[in-house]
Structure 1
Amino acid sequence: MVEHPGGVRVDGLPAALSDPDRLRAVAATGLMDTGPEEVFDDLASLAARITGAGRAFVTLVDADRSFWKSSIGVDLPDLADRQGPLSASYCPFVVGTADAFVVDDAARDPRTAHHPATHPMHIGAWAGQPLLDADGHVLGTLCVIDDDPRPWSDADIATLATLARSVSAEINLRQALTTARHAHRRSADLARTLQAGLLPDALRTVPGLEAAASYLPASRRDRADIEVGGDFYDLFPTHGDNWGAVMGDVCGKGVQAAQLSSMARHTLRADATDTRSPAVLLKRLHDAMVAQGADRFLTCAYAAFHLTDQGVVGTLALGGHPPALIRRTDGAVEQLGEPGTVLGVLPEPHVHLTDVPFTLAPGDLLLLYTDGAIEARPRTGTAPREAVARFEEADLARALVDTRGLDAVATVAHLDAVLEAQHGGRPSDDTALLALRAASDGPAR
């Protein structure tokens, strides 16, 4: 029996379903009784594909019914068919606990064996994660269902949690941007918060590696707000002792750019577990974008690596992205990567992506960056453009030479200061930096 901390209603369902604040939050989404949308279908499809489930749903839950905003694996063209009573849904388990609910064998699990939904809906196995608003109210679930019993792996549950956060972020992004249109004075803070939601809260700790990153959004002197950009970066474990580092830049700004950057980041994370080739991984992302009919493109640099007693051994591929830079311990700086095709534009056979191996000895540093770092220049009204030339790749390389001996954090701070001197703190394009330095004492054992 699942415990419901807030008690139960007279019908035996969790009292949390009738919480007025939660119901207001569900209504505020504006998604109840609305038709399917590509962004939610894409995330639900990704959940079904990665977990191998036959069905996947994005579900909104009010006090009386569950509504399927997205329904993958079940054809429901009429809105009237995309809903049902809560008594015939597993979603109340999630709403009642505000946590994941996982069943490997629904017909045998005592929590669901006699549930009204188990046999009519042919539920063999069910796994769901909560969808949350910005205040933590449970709006509904992202769930996957199989007709037959099956064990859900830890990776399945973690992936479902990540995609549920993406669905929640999309909902919250829409609400926040709607609010921003009516409150321009608050839009800068909102946009920065939304942008931060597309980036990791903190870089993962990798034994034997120093990591540091920075992000500065573009700004306009004639506006009080900023637009949500498409720059993104990430550092994450892939399989075994292997890691992935990514830096990407989506064309354009706004909600669509943010959606694409979120999709790219999560797709790379999901697919990185079964390939060691960055070029193959970027090709899969390209194919996913083309299949979804993305109307924007992106550039991306992806490095797959592992640590040894001698430092870092890895491989890097570029999808239309500026080359990475390596700073050696003697201060020498070299470019890394073969130019590759921009992702999401050209059909086969015009996509060319190349894996390039690299090594970092203890003290060596790898720098990934977006093109804002090599296009820095004064904004109109800050200084005559002819007075200071545009900051280019050679300038960034020289600035990196000047960081000889610095750790990753200090290196990023120095580069940020150099770029600020160029654009006066008001960059014309989003700028992201990610520095990875092999620790001088090698990896921890």
Structure 2
Amino acid sequence: MDTDDSRSARAALVAALDIVDAPPAERFERIVRIARDLFDVRFSYVNLLDDTLLHTLTPNVPGEAVAGPLEWSFCQLTAQRPGPTVIPDTAADPRTADLPGVASRGIRFYAGVPLTMPGDLAIGSLCLMDVEPREFSPQDEAALIDLGRWTEQALAKGLHHDRLLEVVEALAPQPVHVPGYRLAGISVPYGDVSGDVHDWTVADDAVTFTLADIMGKEQPAALLAAGLRAALRQHGDLDPVDAVAAVEPRTSEDLGRASAFATVFHSRLTPSTGRVDFVDAGHGLVLHLHADGTSVIRRSRDLPLGLHPEGVPFRSGSLVLEPGDTLIVASDGALDLGDGTIDTLTDIGQTLRRAPSTEAFLETVRLRAAEHAEDDVTVAVLARDAD
């Protein structure tokens, strides 16, 4: 029964999903494409219902209205009962004969299933419509119910995904001010969220600077990257080799369960001297640009987390950023910006040298990544000002 309380609760949940005004999402478009083909109907929709309006997430034709009064819709009936609602001839059914869809659009067949969230609250519908009356068999109803369950999972996944996206975006490092130095970076996910993470923190006498790349893409890699970032932050007061050694056992356990590994460049800058102490666990995509125009690629000497032999200590490295020097650290997706070889890292360094500013350089990276990359792309820059 569609009561005032249920309509209010439904409206609140639909608002929490925050997808009503978003562009059509492929996860829903795919479902309605399959529904149209499977049942050989003209139209199929994924709709959300609030207290007064029906909102379609999948308009079928250009310019189609994406919202309308709930009382004008067929799907108001679907929300009132748990199973499928099937109307073989809408013009012959007194519940629908006077609806605008029958008179103005010529809709003569309707079938829909409610979409429910936890608590069995119907917040929407997956429906089929056609311009000719037709029968709908029990097998058809069962198939429509299965598609409805798929749609519910897509809604729930979208809710979890949006929350994850908020968390991942919140993990982006905030701008910091270190006298005599510039820190900046950009991460361009191949999908919606990235398995790369870059980070920096500033203490009184040191700057911790990190870039990690989790094998894989999307949500699992993003979650592992977020966990690794948090673990390293907990040990920000340690030297890099000690910090990585401290997080390695638990991190490798998590990575092993996910059949993944992580390359990590974790460093600590002493601003007064320019000395950078670091651990490179399988990363190897570090370019030291010298003020005199030369450059050196710093390669890794250890295996990634998740592959590093148990009990074998990580090796520490160090370099000095002289005035005018810059350190570029990139994920392997950045190699897609060039020919895919390590020489691309040198080309990225030349692009930075030619750029009018670090911000302009990172915007170039973003544009190239969006056009060419087939993996997450992260590039971070640590530069020492010239005297």
For residue 412 of structure 1, what is the amino acid of its counterpart? Answer: L
Pick the structure with greater CA Rg: 2
For residue 261 of structure 1, what is the amino acid of its counterpart? Answer: A
The answer on 1:212 being equivalent to 2:184 is yes
Matched-pair contact (CA < 8 Å) for 2:262–2:305: yes
Q: How does 1:154-169 map to 2 (within 5 A)?
A: none
Number of matched pairs: 240
The answer on 1:401 being equivalent to 2:365 is no
Tell me, which stretches of 5 or more residues in structure 1 are unaligned?
1-19, 30-177, 219-225, 378-389
Q: 1:414 to 1:400 in 2, by over 3 A?
A: farther
SS state of the match for residue 425, structure 1? helix
The one-character-per-residue Cα deviations of 1:234-289 (angstroms, maximum 9, x if unpaired) are: 01025x4111000011121343322211111111111121x22x222222222122
Q: CA deviation at 1:214?
A: 1.1
Q: Which residue number corresponds to residue 229 of structure 1?
A: 194
TM-score (norm 2): 0.54
Q: CA deviation at 1:186?
A: 10
The answer on 1:198 being equivalent to 2:148 is no
Q: 1:236 to 1:345 in 2, by over 3 A?
A: same
Matched-pair contact (CA < 8 Å) for 1:329–1:404: no
Matched-pair contact (CA < 8 Å) for 2:181–2:384: yes
Q: CA deviation at 1:227?
A: 4.1
1:259 to 223, 233, 253: 223
Q: Which residue number corresponds to residue 332 of structure 2?
A: 371
The one-character-per-residue Cα deviations of 1:202-231 (angstroms, maximum 9, x if unpaired) are: 23222221111111111xxxxxxx342211
SS state of the match for residue 267, structure 1? helix
Q: 1:364 to 1:235 in 2, by over 3 A?
A: same
For residue 317 of structure 2, what is the amino acid of its counterpart? Answer: V
TM-score (norm 1): 0.47
Q: How does 1:334-353 map to 2 (within 5 A)?
A: 334-349=296-311, 351=312, 353=314
For residue 209 of structure 1, what is the amino acid of its counterpart? Answer: Y
The answer on 1:360 being equivalent to 2:321 is yes
2:373 to 405, 427, 434: 427
Q: 1:362 to 1:409 in 2, by over 3 A?
A: farther
Q: Which residue number corresponds to residue 154 of structure 2?
A: 181
Q: How does 1:131-142 map to 2 (within 5 A)?
A: none
Separation in 1 of the partners of 2:257 and 2:154?
Answer: 25
For residue 393 of structure 1, what is the amino acid of its counterpart? Answer: I
Q: How does 1:3-402 map to 2 (within 5 A)?
A: 181-182=154-155, 193-200=166-173, 202-218=174-190, 226-238=191-203, 240-273=204-237, 275-276=238-239, 278-292=240-254, 294-295=257-258, 296-308=260-272, 312-349=274-311, 351=312, 353-376=314-337, 390-402=339-351
RMSD between aligned residues: 3.5
For residue 429 of structure 1, what is the amino acid of its counterpart? Answer: D
Separation in 2 of the partners of 1:205 and 1:415?
Answer: 23
Q: 1:188 to 1:348 in 2, by over 3 A?
A: closer
SS state of the match for residue 263, structure 1? helix
Q: CA deviation at 1:294?
A: 4.0
Identity %: 22
Matched-pair contact (CA < 8 Å) for 2:302–2:308: no
SS state of the match for residue 289, structure 1? helix
Q: 1:399 to 1:298 in 2, by over 3 A?
A: closer
Tell me, which stretches of 5 or more residues in structure 2 are unaligned?
1-7, 18-150
